[in-house]
Amino acid sequence: MGAKRRGAAGGRGGEKRGRRDVAAELCAALGDAALRERAAAAWAGGEPLRHEAVAVERAPFRHGVLRGLLASPAFAAALSDELLCLGFRERRNDLLSLRQALSGALRVWLEAVTHIELEHSIDISCVKYESTDVLLCHDDELEGRRIAFILYLVPPWEKSDGGTLDLFSTDGSSRSYSLHVTYSKLTCCLMFQVSEILSEEKCRLSVSGWFHGPAIERPARYVEAPLPRSPHIPYDCSNAFPFQHEILYEWVNLVYLDMDSQAQIQEEFEERSEILLKDFLKKEKFQLLCKALENEDIRWSSRGPPNKRLYETAEEDSVPDILKNFLQFLRSEALFLLLSNFTGLKLHFLAPSDEDEGAGEGRAADSAGNSSSKSEEEETEQHADSSTHQPDQPDNISEAQDSETQNGSSTPMCAGELRRWTNGHYTLVHDNQATEFALDLLFYCGCEDWDPEYGGFTSYIAKGEDEEVRSLAANGNLDKNCLGMITLYHSANTVSH
């Protein structure tokens, strides 16, 4: 994710408007008993309510909108000025006045509508979003939090300005609903994101927070199925697939099949746990892959859930033959053994183990065609961007992960995807990420002239730490037929996104 989020305080130059002693008064609709009862019935029955002042919606989860929450435009303007001037001090300022209004009249109204007993104290903060700022999908669920709210303090705002509040279902279906930003509108929600601010002139200023109440039992979290894994493709003389060592000569630059080169690569990889292999594929094969990735017949589908990832994957039965052959190459027994020689990891039973001191490296081509006994996961991705700032061609990435246990008792496995990345796509670190020893392979296509400012990097972060351990980006290092390899041989202590 190549965007940023502004902190809870921002500033601007210039003089502050004259101080106004205006109280925070809420809209008269909150005092309409009949409207309050209609809202309460809609909330309890899970039915929609659409009124000029109040709206209740049931999808993707129950949420409400109060339009024109602040009765006084003068107070709203004073509040906006104070927030933008970073004038937060311990005194009776406009934000404190708003807090008192929300925890008073609004809290009483929400209790009547939702039948939730809310505490008198609330959490409240200010957030400012400017051009390119974004807040990715997340779950604000914490113990005792019952109703979230967002009060917008924005200039006239169009859909083309971005910054919509996107609400998501919590059943793993990735369904989303966008709410347009409106001045002095209050929205209550749970799982959401703020889309990228597209306007270069306007500021998306909001006051947000939580009403607290009795904790409730949360529904079970959606558990997604992992990518299917399978053993590498073994040599089978009955099919038309090339003899295993020949597939290496068909695809791989001959420099990397030289035993001395493999020994040098392994030495560097064992020292740094990462390496970039430039011009890894034969030039003509790489060019064919880049061209095939532009094929309009490839069917792409969105992959979520959005609190973990958002990108597109190709349906393998729709890709051109050259891509199918490439995926077979990535899953071949010969490549497993070649990767063993590159990394020193025992990804094939013919590869030397740690106990085999001085065992010969560089047996990949000569020893292909045998069964294997350890584990690897491969993942192939495609990266593209529709922005005018991005390269025109798609971008192909391949990852390999080794799911072996530390004692090497498991069977070599691989899993894969062909991915396409466009503006707004991302992956996030999450608590349920697999904790296993792994070898990641990243192979990009179509990233010529890629600027690091475009984003598209892969970060590895040690759990409990804020700084990334290492990073691979689709930039000058990985833009031309370059294979990136990173070992995650630190198991549960490291995650990636």
Looking at the fold, whether 449 and 308 belong to one and the same domain comes out as yes
Looking at the fold, whether 179 and 256 belong to one and the same domain comes out as no
Locate 53 and state its tokens. Answer: 């002042």
Given a contact cutoff of 8 angstroms between Cβ atoms, the answer to whether 210 and 122 are in contact is yes
Looking at the fold, whether 190 and 319 belong to one and the same domain comes out as no
Looking at the fold, whether 332 and 394 belong to one and the same domain comes out as yes
- Alpha-carbon distance of 128 to 410, in angstroms, equals 50
Given a contact cutoff of 8 angstroms between Cβ atoms, the answer to whether 81 and 74 are in contact is no
Is residue 217 assigned to a domain? no
Question: Could you report the per-residue pLDDT of 176-197, keeping only the tens digit for each?
Answer: 555 555 544 455 555 678 888 8
pLDDT at 323: 94
- Alpha-carbon distance of 395 to 397, in angstroms, equals 7
Whose tokens are 């020949």? That residue is 246
Is residue 170 assigned to a domain? yes
Is residue 186 assigned to a domain? yes
Determine the 3-state secondary structure of 163 from DSSP: coil
> Is pTM beyond 0.75 here?
no
Locate 89 and state its tokens. Answer: 């001090």
Looking at the fold, whether 199 and 268 belong to one and the same domain comes out as no
Looking at the fold, whether 258 and 391 belong to one and the same domain comes out as yes
| Residue 398 parent element (H or E) | strand 395-401
Is residue 230 assigned to a domain? no
Given a contact cutoff of 8 angstroms between Cβ atoms, the answer to whether 294 and 396 are in contact is no
Question: Could you report the per-residue pLDDT of 13-24, keeping only the tens digit for each?
Answer: 344 444 446 677
Looking at the fold, whether 207 and 249 belong to one and the same domain comes out as no
Given a contact cutoff of 8 angstroms between Cβ atoms, the answer to whether 339 and 351 are in contact is no
Query: In the chain, what is the greatest distance between 2 CA atoms, to the nearest angstrom?
Result: 87
The domain boundary residue, chosen from 188, 212, 236:
212
- Alpha-carbon distance of 42 to 44, in angstroms, equals 6
pLDDT at 262: 94
Q: How far is CA 476 from CA 256, 450, 479, 481, 487, in A?
A: 21, 7, 5, 11, 21
**Residue 70: domain span:** 28-212
Residue type, 247: I
* Average pLDDT in the chain: 73
Question: For the domain that residue 402 is a member of, what is the CATH number?
Answer: 2.60.120.620
Number of domains in the chain: 2
Looking at the fold, whether 61 and 193 belong to one and the same domain comes out as yes
Strand-pair partners of 300: 314
Looking at the fold, whether 184 and 123 belong to one and the same domain comes out as yes
Is residue 485 assigned to a domain? yes
Looking at the fold, whether 78 and 152 belong to one and the same domain comes out as yes
In order along its 497 residues, the chain shows pLDDT tens digits of 344 444 444 433 344 444 446 677 888 888 899 999 999 999 888 899 999 888 888 877 788 888 888 888 888 888 888 787 754 444 445 667 777 777 888 889 999 998 989 998 888 888 888 888 888 876 666 677 888 888 888 888 888 999 888 877 666 555 555 555 554 445 555 567 888 889 999 988 888 888 888 887 776 766 777 777 777 766 554 454 444 678 999 999 999 999 999 999 999 999 988 888 999 999 999 999 999 999 999 999 988 888 788 899 999 999 999 999 999 999 888 998 899 999 988 887 777 765 554 444 434 434 333 333 333 333 334 433 333 233 333 333 333 334 333 334 467 777 778 899 888 888 887 666 656 677 888 888 877 777 777 777 787 777 666 666 666 655 545 557 888 887 764 444 444 55
Given a contact cutoff of 8 angstroms between Cβ atoms, the answer to whether 27 and 70 are in contact is yes
Looking at the fold, whether 250 and 204 belong to one and the same domain comes out as no
- Alpha-carbon distance of 309 to 278, in angstroms, equals 28
Is residue 87 assigned to a domain? yes
Given a contact cutoff of 8 angstroms between Cβ atoms, the answer to whether 394 and 384 are in contact is yes
Looking at the fold, whether 294 and 172 belong to one and the same domain comes out as no
Is residue 4 assigned to a domain? no
Is residue 39 assigned to a domain? yes
Question: Could you report the per-residue pLDDT of 25-54, keeping only the tens digit for each?
Answer: 888 888 899 999 999 999 888 899 999 888
Given a contact cutoff of 8 angstroms between Cβ atoms, the answer to whether 154 and 202 are in contact is yes
